[in-house]
Amino acid sequence: MSEKVLEVDSLVGGYRGVEVVRDVSFSVAEGEVVALLGPNGAGKTTTLLTVAGLVRPIGGSVRVLGRAAGKEPTSRLARRGMVMVPDDRGLFGELSVADTLRLAQRSRVRKNDDVVDLLPALRPLWRRRVALLSGGEQQMVALAAALVRRPRLLMLDEMSLGLAPQIVTGLLGAVRSMADRDGTGVLLVEQHARVALGASDRAIVLRHGEIALEGDRHDVGSRLEAGEGSYLGDAVSP
């Protein structure tokens, strides 16, 4: 059985004592891609930030890479292999693509050629400044900067924001390949169910801060197709 890289148990999360998510439990194993779905305001990002240790949980527990997230500094969890790509991509516009990857690759855990194999469209962008790239190209650079660190747990927040579906499908294909090849566990926070389910093993749907649906991707997809898509809304149904 694969080791669990993330375990969330009865999580209650929010801000200044106001609950945003309640009684949320799930896990992510090595080599598994789990999609966390739901409409705007469902609590997806709050869950992600709490898991990453950036927001203190109100209740419940989170274990990341075998350690209690609330008792371990986020910086230490990052050194042990937790990597998050935020929805704003977290890039420096003045740097070139090459310099961005060199900065992320301080420990040189993965060769740049390996990342280009996963994301071949990076190659012609190598010397260009990040600020001059399109939104899709910037998202690809943000993902590449995460992949060069060879994460054990990769968390992606709304990677599809502002991007064409075909671009997102290509990026998620690289994520799927990395999970299969390296055994990376992936938590994919996403509003658009169709592309997320295509790359995932399992899916969890949040609605009003609580789990409304969960199961393997085929089960969740079928239930959404059968009419339970109201959990997500028309804009994000499969």
CB atoms inside a 10 Å sphere around CB 140: 25
26-48 burial: b if 16+ Cβ within 10 Å, else e: bbbbbbbbbbbbbbeebbbbbbb
User: Which residues are paired to 68 by β-bridges?
Assistant: 63
Separation CA 121–CA 115 (nearest Å): 10
Q: Which regions of 71-176 does DSSP assign to beta strands (E)?
A: 82-85, 153-157
Give the lowest-confidence range in 10-14, 79-83, 113-117: 113-117
Give the lowest-confidence range in 59-68, 75-84, 209-218: 75-84
For residue 160, what is the enclosing H or E element? Answer: none
Residue with more model confidence, 34 or 107: 34
Contact 83, 154 (CB under 8 A): yes
Separation CA 93–CA 2 (nearest Å): 38
CA distances in angstroms from 8 to 22, 59, 67, 117, listed in the order given: 12, 11, 12, 33
Q: Whats the size of the chain, residue-wise?
A: 238
Q: Which two tokens stand for residue 74?
A: 């986020």
Q: Kindly indicate the confidence band of residue 229, based on its pLDDT and cuts at 50, 70 and 90.
A: low
Q: Is the pLDDT of residue 107 over 60?
A: no
Q: Which two tokens stand for residue 189?
A: 């926070």
Give the lowest-confidence range in 64-68, 103-107, 152-156: 103-107
100 by Cβ neighbours in 10 Å (0-12 / 13-18 / 19+) ranks as: buried
Quote the percentage of the chain above a pLDDT of 90. 39
Pairing assessment for the beta strands 59-64 and 4-15 based on DSSP bridges:
antiparallel
| Tokens 């926070």 found at | 189
Separation CA 95–CA 97 (nearest Å): 7
* Closest among 138, 131, 149 to 84, alpha carbons compared: 149
Q: Kindly indicate the confidence band of residue 195, based on its pLDDT and cuts at 50, 70 and 90.
A: confident
Contact 145, 101 (CB under 8 A): yes
Q: Looking at residues 187-205, what average pLDDT do you find?
A: 91
Which domains does the chain possess?
4-87+151-236 (3.40.50.300)
